[in-house]
Chains A and B, each alone.
Chain A
Amino acid sequence: MIFVSIFLSFLVANLLGYGGGPASIPLMYEEIVNRYNWLSNTEFSNMLAFANALPGPIATKIAAYVGFGVGGWGGFFIALLATILPSAIALIFLLKIMRKHQDSVIVKGMTLLVQPVITALMLVLTFEMFQDSYHSIGIIQSGVIALVAFLLLQKWKVHPAFVIILAFLYGGLIVPHLS
Chain B
Amino acid sequence: MYKDLILGMLRAGIFGFGGGPSVIPLIRHEAVTKYKWMDNEEFGDVLAIANTLPGPIATKIAAYLGYRQKGTVGAIVGVLAHILPTCLAMVFLFSFISILSHSPIITSMISAVVPVIAVMLGLMAYEFGEKAMKGLGIYVGIGLTIVCLILLQTFSIHPGIVVLVFLTYGAFHFKLKEKFIHKKERGQ
Using a CB–CB distance below 8 Å, which chain A residues touch chain B?
A: 14-22, 24, 46-47, 49-61, 63-65, 68, 76, 80, 83-84, 86-88, 90-92, 94-95, 98, 105-126, 129-130, 132-133, 136-137, 141-143, 145-146, 149-150, 153-154, 159-161, 163-165, 167-172, 175-176
Contacts and interface: CB of A to CB of B under 8 A. Distances in A.
Contacts of B19: 21-22, 52, 57-58
B152 interface: yes
A95 B172 contact: no
Contacts of A15: 54-55
Q: Which of A108, A126, A132 has the most CB of B within 10 A?
A: A126
Given A20-B55, A87-B55, 10 more contacts: A21-B56, A61-B90, A65-B90, A84-B55, A84-B56, A109-B171, A119-B125, A133-B111, A136-B114, A171-B113
Contacts of B105: 172, 176
B88 to A, nearest CB: 8
Contacts of A146: 115-116, 118-119
Nearest to B95: A50
A20 to B, nearest CB: 4
A154 B174 CA distance: 34
B170 A113 contact: yes
A126 B121 contact: yes
14 contacts: A21-B58, A60-B87, A63-B87, A80-B83, A108-B174, A109-B171, A113-B173, A114-B167, A129-B21, A129-B114, A130-B115, A146-B116, A164-B116, A167-B112
Contact of B121 (A51, A110, A125): A125
A90 B14 contact: no
B67 to A, nearest CB: 5
Given A76-B91, A117-B163, A130-B118, A50 B55 contact: no
B113 A167 contact: yes
A87 B116 contact: no
Contacts of A19: 54, 158-160
Most buried by B among A51, A91, A149, A154: A91
Contacts of B46: 91, 95
Given A68-B91, A108-B174, A56 B58 contact: yes
B55 A64 contact: no
